[in-house]
Structure 1
């Protein structure tokens, strides 16, 4: 069967409808032609020069990204601009870009669901359901997830679990609960759900992009963990690939090999004292 970008858009619309995105967001077809034929897809978190290089090398027709390449309004597209130069290269190589961002955050089986699964949570449900706009097919949508660990864990063991499962040795955290069983998560920037996690009795809340003063809301019964924006969201790329392969078995679907995380960590056994 001949597939076009329109078929991919329809697949994403069924899973993560654009009507469920947050108002500020920019999702869907961002670069390219809806009727262009697709036989090879590259899935990623971010569209970077290295990812575009990879797409060209793989002869991919389409990049499906979580973060939109075009987010703010563009006043011009030039090769001297970082975003403009990427758009130039994409168009020259007939590569389309589709983004699924906050609509994929809100989708059943989306970003936070995959994060919860990665941490081994069971009996999960949305931390905060999305009332309007509703999913056009009646499915529940929302942000964040809350569930249970199979067994209670002490704080050090839980932090080791998060670090290992998300492959991040640089966790930031506050709070000292003795036992952790009920856990809330939100992939990416999720400070807006911390109060809801606490209200629902979570022992721990794992998210990213927490500000300094927000850590003061942690306590001896509530743990806040900042596990990194990239680290809490990138697991959804594999889930996206799996769904694309299930829906389009004849198509080549590649998961990017590029680590697009711009954040680097320095680890010292003993921090130097300030003079």
Structure 2
């Protein structure tokens, strides 16, 4: 049976997890190849879009590939099918496979690459390593019959409204009376066509990040008993949650640099890593940035971190870090793969059983270790 969910619908759910506007200006996130208007039954999540990944997608009848690294990062002046990139694009088009990239937006997003990497090391009290902005907040005031206030509150809270710090379902309600006249062609939940109706209602108020607006309104309309829900939206000046690149957190107990290296190898499932520093140095505060983060070495040092975990470290910057007393752990760029199972879980929960999400099993790590 053909799926009724289109690629655009899947991407809307992805955008709630990893809002596209979080991406850096220099990045090329979003649609890479294909159409977002096609039905999708199977979605593959991958770190990279290489030819072996596309071959796997063809074999598994995948309709949509969601990748972390953009397929089209550097502008193309031609599509030469004799080149690896050209063959990849050709196969994708021939087999009607759409490719979408969530890159630096997924790095920044809560629950994205850097949070998953930090969670695997059980880091506590996480904050962004470098702040890049904060979520704008929106206030919702919706009018609902008394008997449905709890149902509506639960629905919008589960969609992301009313979360303040470590508290959820944060709302305020005030009692009043609503009036309306159902006009011709309506099917009113309460009242009769052409007659003024008075209803005891609550004004239910809450705030939430603007990035959750679509999800909260969808939940509100689905849970509200009326054909047309009456509600107001207001921009607010309260400070929203800060977002940024990288994470800084603390270990629950001190480890030596050597011990932490072993934990990193195990938790990131890697055969080897590089490190800089005294292996017996005690580590408590950890800065972390998935992918290539050497240009942020000085920023990591400013946070007071004992060690900075990132990939693609070069010789001279490693020397600089050593001289300034900052330990380094380089697990490689490919460790960003750890976000794929988490993203699969989140999207499967959001989209339901009509779409199947799988994680690519193809190898895209170019380095081998002896």
TM, length-normalised to structure 1 = 0.91
Distance in 1, matches of 2:241 and 2:284, equals: 28
Structure 1 residue 65: deviation in Å?
0.4
User: 2:343 aligned with 1:249, yes or no?
Assistant: no
Q: Please identify, of 131-140 and 175-184, the stretch whose mean Cα deviation from structure 2 is larger.
A: 131-140
Q: Secondary structure at the match of 2:367?
A: coil
Distance in 2, matches of 1:153 and 1:133, equals: 35
Give the conservation status (yes or no) of the 8 Å contact 2:63–2:97: yes
Determine the structure 2 residue equivalent to 1:200: 303
User: 2:366 aligned with 1:262, yes or no?
Assistant: yes
Give the conservation status (yes or no) of the 8 Å contact 1:125–1:146: yes
Runs of 4+ in 1 over 6 A off after TM superposition: 132-135
Q: Secondary structure at the match of 2:54?
A: helix
Q: How many residues align?
A: 265
Determine the structure 1 residue equivalent to 2:23: 21
Give the conservation status (yes or no) of the 8 Å contact 1:70–1:83: no
Determine the structure 2 residue equivalent to 1:182: 285
Larger radius of gyration: 2
Q: Secondary structure at the match of 1:242?
A: helix
Structure 2: segments with no counterpart, 5+ residues: 137-208, 212-239
Give the conservation status (yes or no) of the 8 Å contact 2:13–2:351: no
Q: Secondary structure at the match of 1:170?
A: coil
User: 2:231 aligned with 1:163, yes or no?
Assistant: no
Determine the structure 2 residue equivalent to 1:62: 64
User: 2:328 aligned with 1:224, yes or no?
Assistant: yes
Determine the structure 2 residue equivalent to 1:152: 254
Q: Please identify, of 220-229 and 141-150, the stretch whose mean Cα deviation from structure 2 is larger.
A: 220-229
Give the conservation status (yes or no) of the 8 Å contact 1:130–1:142: yes
Determine the structure 2 residue equivalent to 1:271: none
Structure 1 residue 36: deviation in Å?
0.4
Give the conservation status (yes or no) of the 8 Å contact 1:144–1:193: no
Structure 1 residue 66: deviation in Å?
0.3
Determine the structure 1 residue equivalent to 2:124: 122
Deviations 1:58-102 (A, max 9, x none): 111001000011111111113112111111111111111000011
Q: Secondary structure at the match of 2:133?
A: coil
Determine the structure 1 residue equivalent to 2:244: 142
Distance in 1, matches of 2:59 and 2:83, equals: 23
Equivalent position to 2:294, from 168, 178, 191: 191
Distance in 2, matches of 1:221 and 1:180, equals: 12
Two-structure CA RMSD over aligned residues (Å):
1.8
Structure 1 residue 162: deviation in Å?
1.1
Q: Secondary structure at the match of 1:141?
A: strand
Structure 1 residue 133: deviation in Å?
9.2
The structure whose residues are more often strand, as a share, is 2
Distance in 1, matches of 2:296 and 2:56, equals: 36
